[in-house]
Amino acid sequence: MLIVMEPNATEAQIQRVADFIESKGFDAHISKGEIQTVIGAVGGKTIDSRDIELIDGVLKIIKISSSYKLASRVFKPQNTVIKIKDVSIGGEELAMIAGPCTIESYEQMELTASELQKSGVKLIRGGAFKPRTSPYSFQGLGEEGLKIIREVADKYGMLVVSEVMEISQIPMFLEYADILQVGARNMQNFNLLKELGYTNKPVIIKRGLSAMIEEWIMSAEYVMAGGNRDVILCERGIRTFETATRNTLDISAIPVVKKLSHLPIIVDPSHGTGLRDKVAPMSRAAVAAGADGLILEVHYEPDKALCDGAQSLYPNQYADLVKDLKIIAPVVGKKI
């Protein structure tokens, strides 16, 4: 349930309500807006709501029927904007995350980053541990890869986005990465999500291959329940009967999520389509539909990439896409 406080409620009154619901076995999550403060009572307990309504400073109580509470727009009506240094995700600025699928070498990352910097990229992506369908495919460079992307990012003034695979890797990623990504296959790895909830760095959660939107948002709820509110949802295509593209990119998920949740949503058209010539059109469509950002695979020499070269843009193609997005973004209240 949500406890909405009076606009003039004091800190003491807010704390009294939080202490009361915690004494009843709930977790209290306080969200302070410009006008009112909302306290989310999360847990499987039962309570007589009248006991709360009588506390000084309480305006009303709202019962939430959806499974997720903290990620709900009912809990927080205003959009969440995640700020890391000079980068904002979820606000007016369109977040552009770009880089190769996997970190192959220092030279590869350095050459790609130098090209991306020309297009104003502030967030560079690259996988150090790669979940591959085949055990014989390139699995990534591990910690050495993280060291490489960190060094290159620092050289060009960028932030690092990389995918964490398991709980034991979290301390390592906290040292090298600025944003931790949870891949589609790990979307329902609840133990991993719980542990990420105790970290203080933003988490990107990619939608599972066959996940419903509610299941996807519930994964974000796992992270938020641990205390980490900086969660970003990423639509990356779902598995359908269609074989013309690698996945079916669900553009409709953007407005659906925007209505249900206050969390930022970005789109990955590289995995969503699996084909380089489809990435730009779907990127334009995603921005037009209201996405808060894009995560794109860009490689300075895709034909020689060790992973997903067919869906990776050349740097000049990325630069052309940015020019197109600068025209589209203002139509939906964004800028790039």
Specify whether the CB–CB gap between 195 and 166 falls below 8 A.
no
Homologous superfamily of 82-332:
Aldolase class I (3.20.20.70)
CA torsion sign for 163, 166, 169, 170 is positive
CA distances to 17, 83, 216 from 186, rounded to whole Å, are 36, 25, 11
Distance (Å) of CA 49 to CA 23, 33, 61: 14, 23, 7
Side-chain half-sphere exposure of 143, counting CA atoms within 13 A: 7
CA geometry: angle 113, 117, 121, nearest 5 deg: 95
The pLDDT value recorded for residue 195 is: 98
Q: Which of 218, 237, 228, 232 is nearest to 265 (CA)?
A: 232
Kindly tell me the burial class for residue 131, based on how many C-beta atoms sit within 10 Å of its own C-beta (0-12, 13-18, 19 or more): middle
For residue 41, pLDDT beyond 90: no
Mean of per-residue pLDDT scores for the chain = 93
What pLDDT, in 10s, does the model give residues 45-55? 778 888 899 89
Does the pLDDT of residue 254 top 90, yes or no?
A: yes
Task: Identify the residue whose tokens are 């014989």.
Answer: 136
Give the residue-averaged pLDDT of 36-65. Answer: 85
- Where are the domains positioned within the chain? 2-62, 82-332
In CATH, the number for domain 2-62 is 3.30.70.1140
> How far apart are the C-alpha atoms of 5 and 61, rounded to whole Å?
9
- The whole-number average pLDDT for the span 91-103 is 96
Question: Buried b / exposed e across 50-64, counting CB within 10 Å, b at 16+?
Answer: eebeeeebbeebeee
